[in-house]
A and B are shown apart, each in its own frame.
Chain A
Amino acid sequence: QQPVQSPQAVILREGEDAVINCSSSKALYSVHWYRQKHGEAPVFLMILLKGGEQKGHEKISASFNEKKQQSSLYLTASQLSYSGTYFCGTALSDSGGSNYKLTFGKGTLLTVNP
């Protein structure tokens, strides 16, 4: 039940856009997105609940397609500071609406070059 992230890695030039996907084979209650830089703790970006909402955080936004059980993270006009590994963590619908038990994907390594 580990969510599948794609792509595994992406290389951008500063200012370019990227999309990272997170798919689940099971019905999701919520999707949590984190960014982790090498040797550091994962940093929270945003949470999306079922209902297909879209949220934004500066130039980073995300959507949740309940029909497809898929979330996408959109990074626009990328900056050097966006480099890192992006993880999605999912909470299942059968967890009773609880967000406590997250299952993380393997991550997407994003590299932004000057």
Chain B
Amino acid sequence: DTGVSQDPRHKITKRGQNVTFRCDPISEHNRLYWYRQTLGQGPEFLTYFQNEAQLEKSRLLSDRFSAERPKGSFSTLEIQRTEQGDSAMYLCASSLSSGLGKQFFGPGTRLTVL
């Protein structure tokens, strides 16, 4: 059984550069979520997809952030013109839309903006 995978696991970039992360959910899961986690905090909701439709986006997500899930399978999260405050762990999770909504998390992508 393949879990949620994320790529890359680590990314170091300079301020002002663009970065893109990829998430591959569990294959039968039609819901996909992006969270951000900083040190000493719980995961913070960023956005959520049901199939290919992005149904909600956090108000915390500035217009520099964009996410896509073009075919309802994998998803990408892009951050444009990165800032030092974007440094965090970016977690992806997936779930079924039926049932209790149990979310399975991927290992995350750790972003460091210099």
| A contacts, CB < 8 Å to B | 2, 30, 32, 34, 40-44, 47, 49, 87, 89, 91, 98-107
Contacts and interface: CB of A to CB of B under 8 A. Distances in A.
17 contacts: A30-B100, A32-B102, A34-B105, A41-B4, A41-B91, A41-B106, A41-B108, A47-B100, A87-B42, A99-B101, A100-B48, A100-B55, A101-B48, A102-B43, A104-B41, A104-B44, A105-B42
A42 B41 contact: no
Nearest to B44: A104
Chain A to chain B: the 7 pairs with minimum beta-carbon distance, closest first: A99-B101, A104-B42, A41-B105, A87-B42, A47-B100, A42-B105, A41-B107
B45 A44 contact: no
Given A32-B103, A47-B101, A104-B44, 15 more contacts: A30-B101, A40-B107, A42-B91, A43-B105, A44-B103, A89-B42, A100-B48, A100-B50, A100-B55, A101-B45, A101-B48, A104-B42, A106-B41, A107-B40, A107-B42
Nearest to A85: B42
Interface of B: 4, 31, 33, 40-45, 48, 50, 55-56, 91, 95, 100-108
B110 to A, nearest CB: 9
A107 to B, nearest CB: 5
Contacts of A89: 42-43
B56 A101 contact: yes
Nearest to A3: B42
B56 A49 contact: no
Contacts of B108: 41
A54 to B, nearest CB: 15
A105 B40 CA distance: 10
Contacts of B50: 100
Contacts of A30: 100-101
A49 B100 contact: yes
A32 B43 CA distance: 13
B40 A106 contact: yes
A89 B104 CA distance: 13
B33 A100 contact: yes
